[in-house]
A and B are shown apart, each in its own frame.
Chain A
């Protein structure tokens, strides 16, 4: 077992699949997310490889992939810290129609892993994940007029009436 820290096991559900390169730590709730993240950082997972979401239809799974450069025994490993969130941010009706898709709200882990900065920005614009405490959630890959459409969700359809064929 790669993860045998009692604090982490208490707060989460650990699944390991050596052959497929998966070590998953599924955190139960938002309160334990930061505790587990701090614990993982203390164990030696010192940088963030990727932050992404998965659309679970009504829920969004937020996944941080973490790895280590400094600990020899952890070097070849990637673990995924995962939390499944309901779409919980209220829709602001004052906003334009495109911006009304509900978001999920999770704490940002940039304070713990600075390398997650750009990855969380990308996950925010693609999935509508509101990272609480992130210093800079401007769109990074998409243009400004795409903001709020959350294109990587399964229900995303693009508006073909905008496309002009001359």
Chain B
């Protein structure tokens, strides 16, 4: 018998009877109002304070992105997918466009590829800082929360300088990107990176090497590499368990095949490793941004096939302001029938896109899977056997974002 604390009235004799029968299981509901970074409910069954069963109840922020996108023109899906993954908009945008470009058979020019990687890496840093901040809140360290969200700001300013918008950039369009890199961007980016390098040392001192954080995270929420593979975990959480997989290396997109970077990997797969690997990935992202700023080739920012469809006024805007406006083709687009898949390594893990078209104005099937949805087994498998007080640590360490999982 399981005593349900939140359902109905129970009296103390029930609890005493449970004690006598040797069965002390209690069901506790955490949420649905904002246990951390969004609305979800975690139904936890407890024996004493040991977790025996976890049932994540998600869907409170389901926004029917697939349904909406299947009833709109192709170009109108970009804002929809972006709003699902607010801390990580560029990757959502990029993954959709990669799938669409494969059907349209458009290849963006090299400069656009580099600009895509640049935007993606800046976005990865903001996404990781967001995750670190939320983890800080879960462990009761509001200092780290304030720091991380404050340090996210210079990178959001960089995105604003590059794309004109802070978060929902809609920067990437079929065939290229919408804006050229502005004047003075390289200097601004370099000073931001130098600032962040200095700050990372501070993070080490107050956060990663903090004895309280170490005590609460080391050996908590351990997942072995075999289990991580079996459960289909993605992203930094997978690599923290020692599995060597990153879509940027294993199936390169944008400019990643020409860039030199390493994929950080950890051994233990506990919450502490998942914390460290995000800091390591920020370092690698900064290395990639420096390379892009040094090596970025000259040229157009949209493919010739798209450029030739611009009308004379738009071409004038392109030459003068270095800005690619939307040709009418984008709205009237009827891609040939077919199907395509795309994979992108977002901040939290791999986004998978499957697009099926039948020659119409709207997609026939628009399917995408976000990393947080694939990290759900952490609750059902990894949290079991821990104490209830460890659940926030596990939740925070996997960087789970409910609106992203619910889509």
Contact = CB atoms under 8 A, between A and B. Distances in A.
Residue among B342, B367, B376, B407 with max Cβ neighbours from chain A (10 Å): B367
A78 B302 CA distance: 28
B373 A21 contact: no
A22 B340 contact: yes
Given A46-B229, A142-B59, A151-B67, A69 B341 contact: no
Interface of B: 58-59, 62, 64, 66-67, 70, 102-103, 105, 228-232, 238, 243, 245, 247, 250-251, 338-343, 350, 352, 354, 356, 364-365, 367, 369, 373-374, 376-377, 406-407
A99 interface: no
A47 interface: yes
A48 B232 contact: yes
A45 to B, nearest CB: 11
Contacts of B251: 75-77
A47 B340 contact: no
CB-CB nearest 8 A-B residue pairs: A115-B232, A76-B251, A47-B232, A141-B59, A20-B340, A75-B250, A21-B341, A76-B250
Interface of A: 17, 19-22, 46-50, 52, 54, 63, 65, 69-70, 75-78, 80, 113-115, 117-119, 139-143, 151-152
Nearest to B356: A54
Contacts of A142: 59, 62
A14 B155 CA distance: 46
A114 B230 contact: yes
B341 A22 contact: yes
A151 B70 CA distance: 12
Contact of A52 (B105, B367, B376): B367
A141 B406 contact: yes
B341 A20 contact: yes
Contacts of B365: 52, 54
Nearest to A118: B376
A155 to B, nearest CB: 13
Given A78-B343, A115-B230, A152-B67, A65 B238 contact: no
A77 B352 CA distance: 12
A119 B62 CA distance: 15
Contact of B229 (A47, A54, A117): A47
Contacts of B377: 114-115, 117-118
Residue among B228, B232, B338, B367 with max Cβ neighbours from chain A (10 Å): B232
Nearest to A55: B365
Contacts of A65: 341, 352, 354
Contacts of B59: 139-143
A50 B367 contact: yes
A21 B388 CA distance: 43
